[in-house]
């Protein structure tokens, strides 16, 4: 299944290359809501909240009222997670808060799972060079994404795996890396990081893995088709 991504920064929809370089910027919130209206789920990430420099709560609430959303960015506490669910989010995505310098922070993961329920918590696993990265992908931990998935499995209903090495580059994602993480857990895996083609989405879907797509949509590289809007319609690989 294709999950379109809405990243928010400074009150606008944006797309960043490698989490740093601004490549797309749009004020057309209503226009993108209309484009994504028929998708079963849309991913919303508040980049300002994630980076600890304010938030886009008003826009997040607007998007959650208009679209079925899974929301992340700055989910560091149980109260923040609950507030996003109260705003209408279907699920919340937690990242850096689930880790410490030593690896997975089991106590934090358990607290979040108890606060929102396991099935509404998505654990983010961001990977660069085969290691988990946190704090806006700037801090590398001595833990593999597969080990993180195994340790976090009791607390999360799904994993958002982002292959940072290819994120935003429109060069395609590493299928091998995604499948390695999927093999380490029985939970649902959602993949992100440079996905650009229908072939990739179809290949992931055939393995039960959802695909988050951002840059390819906003750049017009990937155009919606009926199978993208209706997950019950099979993907045609071409």
What is the Cα Rg of the chain in Å? 16
Q: Is 7 a catalytic residue?
A: yes
Q: Give CB contacts under 8 A, 24+ apart, made by 165-168.
A: 165/127, 165/128, 165/129, 165/193, 166/193, 166/194, 167/17, 167/18, 167/19, 167/192, 167/193, 167/194, 168/15, 168/16, 168/17, 168/18, 168/19, 168/21, 168/23, 168/194, 168/214, 168/215
The CA distance from 99 to 156, in Å, is 14
Alpha-carbon dihedral sign for residues 130, 133, 138, 141: negative
Residues 6+ apart with CB under 8 A from 107: none
The CA distance from 2 to 25, in Å, is 22
Q: Is 131 helix (H, G, I), strand (E, B) or coil?
A: strand
Of 46, 126, 210, 228, catalytic: 126
Q: Find the helix or strand (DSSP H, E) in which 145 lies.
A: helix 145-152
155 is written with which tokens? Answer: 């607390």
Between vectors from CA 205 to CA 210 and to CA 8, what angle results, nearest 5°? 25
Measured CA to CA in angstroms, residue 96 lies from 26, 104, 194 at distances of: 27, 9, 21
Active site residues: 7, 126
């Amino acid at each position: 299944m294709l999950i379109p991504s809405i990243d928010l920064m400074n009150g606008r929809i944006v797309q960043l290359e490698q989490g740093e370089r601004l490549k797309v910027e749009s004020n057309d919130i209503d226009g993108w809501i209309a484009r994504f209206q028929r998708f079963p789920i849309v991913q919303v990430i508040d980049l300002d909240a994630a980076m600890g420099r304010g938030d886009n709560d008003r826009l997040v609430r607007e998007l959650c009222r208009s679209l079925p959303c899974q929301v992340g960015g700055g989910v560091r506490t149980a109260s923040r997670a609950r507030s996003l669910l109260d705003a209408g989010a279907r699920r919340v995505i937690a990242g850096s808060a689930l880790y410490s310098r030593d690896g997975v922070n089991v106590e934090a993961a358990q607290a979040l799972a108890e606060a929102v329920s396991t099935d509404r918590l998505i654990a983010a696993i961001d990977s660069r060079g085969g290691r988990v990265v946190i704090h806006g992908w700037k801090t590398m931990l001595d833990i593999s994404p597969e080990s993180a998935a195994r340790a976090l499995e009791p607390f999360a209903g799904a994993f958002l795996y982002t292959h940072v090495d290819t994120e935003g580059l429109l060069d395609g994602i590493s299928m091998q890396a995604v499948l390695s993480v999927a093999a380490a857990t029985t939970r649902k895996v959602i993949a992100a990081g440079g996905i650009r083609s229908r072939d990739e989405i179809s290949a992931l879907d055939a393995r039960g893995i959802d695909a988050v797509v951002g840059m390819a949509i906003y750049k017009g590289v990937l155009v919606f088709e009926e199978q993208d809007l209706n997950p019950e319609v099979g993907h045609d690989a071409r």
